[in-house]
Structure 1
Amino acid sequence: MSEISRQDVLDVLKPIWMTRNETASRLRGRLENIFAYAVSDGLMAYNPALWRGNLDRELPPPSKVQNAGHLEAMPLKELQEKIHCFLPPKNRTRQVILFTILTASRVGESAPARWDEIDWENKIWSVPPERRKDQKKYPHRVPLSRQAIELLKGIERKGDLIFCIDASNQGSKYSLRPLLQRMTGTKATMHGFRSTFRDWAAENGVPDTVAEKCLMHTTGNAVVQAYQRSDLLEQRREVMQAWADAVFEKYKEL
Structure 2
Amino acid sequence: MVRQINRLTARTVATVKEVGRYADGNGLYLSLSKNGGKRWVFLYRSAGRIREKGLGSAAAVSLKDARLKADEVRKQLSAGLDPINEGRKSQGVMTFAQCAKAYIASHEAGWSNPKHADQWRNTLKTYAEPVIGKVPVNKVDVSHIMNILDPIWRTKTETASRVRGRIESILDWAAVKKYRSSENPARLKGHLDHLLPRRQKVAKVQHHPALPYKDIPAFMADLRTREGTGALALEFTILTAARTNETLGAKWDEIDLESKVWTVPADRMKARVLQAQPLSDRSIEILKSLSTDTEYVFPGNGDNNPMSSMSLLAVLKRMNHSDITTHGFRSTFRDWAAETTEFPNEVVEMALAHTVKNKAEAAYRRGNMLDRRRVLMDAWSDYCSQPVGSPDD
TM-score, structure 2 normalization: 0.43
1:159 aligns with 2:294: yes
Residue 91 of structure 1: how far off its partner (Å): 1.5
Offset at 1:165? 4.1
Structure 1 contact 82–184 (Cα < 8 Å) conserved: no
Structure 1, residues 85-121: CA drift from partner, whole Å, max 9, x if none?
3224641111100000000000010112111111112
What is the CA-CA distance between 1:190 and the residue it aligns to?
Answer: 0.3
- Specify the alignment match of 2:359 in structure 1: 222
Correspondences of 1:88-237 after superposition (within 5 Å): 88=225, 90-136=227-273, 139-165=274-300, 172-203=308-339, 204-237=341-374
After superposition, the C-alpha distances for 1:44-64 in whole angstroms (9 at most, x for unaligned) are: xxxxxxxxxxxxxxxxxxxxx
What residue identity is the alignment partner of 1:74? L
Pairwise CA distance, 1:183? 2.1
Aligned residues: 182
Q: How does 1:66-77 map to 2 (within 5 A)?
A: 72-77=209-214
8 A contact 1:71–1:188 mirrored in 2: yes
Contact between 1:74 and 1:193, CA under 8 Å: does it hold in 2?
yes
- Whole-Å separation in 1 of the counterparts to 2:255 and 2:345: 27
Q: Does the aligned pair in 1 maintain the 2:346–2:365 contact within 8 Å? A: no
Relative to structure 1, the CA distance from residue 171 to residue 160 in structure 2 (aligned partners, 3 Å threshold; closer, same or farther) is: closer
- Note closer, same or farther for the CA distance 1:227–1:245 as it changes in structure 2 (3 Å cut): closer
For the residue of structure 2 that corresponds to 1:151, the secondary structure is helix
Taking a change above 3 Å as real, the CA distance of residues 213 and 71 of structure 1, as seen in their structure-2 partners, is: closer
- Report the CA distance between 1:235 and its aligned residue: 0.4
Q: Are 2:254 and 2:263, in contact at CA under 8 Å, matched by a contact in 1?
A: yes
Q: 1:239 aligns with which of 357, 372, 376?
A: 376
- 2:218 corresponds in structure 1 to 81
Q: Distance in 1 between matches of 2:289 and 2:307?
A: 25
Following superposition, the deviation at residue 71 of structure 1 comes to 7.5
- Residues in 2 aligned to 1:179 and 1:120: alpha-carbon distance in whole angstroms: 26
Q: Call closer, same or farther: CA 1:185–1:133 in 2, change over 3 Å.
A: closer
Amino acid at match of 2:372: Q
Relative to its length, the structure with more strand (as a share) is 2
Matched-pair contact (CA < 8 Å) for 2:248–2:307: no
Deviates further, 187-196 or 154-163: 154-163
Per the alignment, residue 49 of structure 2 pairs with: none
The 4+ residue runs of structure 1 with deviation greater than 4 A are 67-71, 168-171
SS at match of 1:74: coil
Q: For 1:153 and 1:198, how far apart are their aligned partners in 2?
A: 27
Moved more, 86-95 or 206-215: 86-95
**Alignment check: 8 A CA contact 2:248 2:306 kept:** no
Q: RCO greater where, 1 or 2, for CA within 8 Å and sep 6 or more?
A: 1
Look up the match of 1:25: none
Residue 181 of structure 2: aligned partner: none
Shift of 1:223: 4.5
Structure 1: 5+ residue runs without aligned partners? 1-66
Matched residue type, 1:148 = S
RMSD: 2.6
For residues 9-55 of structure 1, the C-alpha deviation after alignment (integer angstroms, 9 at most, x for no partner) is xxxxxxxxxxxxxxxxxxxxxxxxxxxxxxxxxxxxxxxxxxxxxxx
What are structure 2's unaligned runs of at least 5 residues?
Answer: 1-203, 389-393
Q: Could you say if the C-alpha distance between residues 238 and 184 of structure 1 is closer, same or farther in structure 2, counting changes exceeding 3 Å?
A: farther
Identity %: 39
Given that 2:277 and 2:351 are in contact with CA atoms closer than 8 Å, whether structure 1 keeps it comes out as yes
Alpha-carbon distance in 1 for matches of 2:256, 2:354: 22
Residue 226 of structure 1 deviates from its aligned partner by 3.6
8 Å CA contact 1:181–1:188 kept in 2: the answer is no
- Code of the residue aligned with 1:246 in structure 2: it is Y
The TM-score, its normalising length taken from structure 1, stands at: 0.65
- Aligned residue for 2:291, secondary structure, equals coil
Q: Secondary structure at the match of 1:141?
A: strand
SS of alignment partner, residue 263 of structure 2: strand
Q: What amino acid does structure 2 have at the position aligned with 1:200?
A: W
1:134 corresponds to which letter in structure 2? A
User: What SS class does the counterpart of residue 126 from structure 1 fall into?
Assistant: strand
Deviation string, structure 1 residues 102-148 (Cα, Å, up to 9, x no partner): 00000010112111111112110000111010012xx2000000110
Residue 250 (structure 1) aligned with residue 250 (structure 2): no
Q: Which structure is larger by alpha-carbon Rg, 1 or 2?
A: 2
Tell me how far apart the structure 1 counterparts of residues 206 and 360 of structure 2 sit (CA, whole Å).
Answer: 33
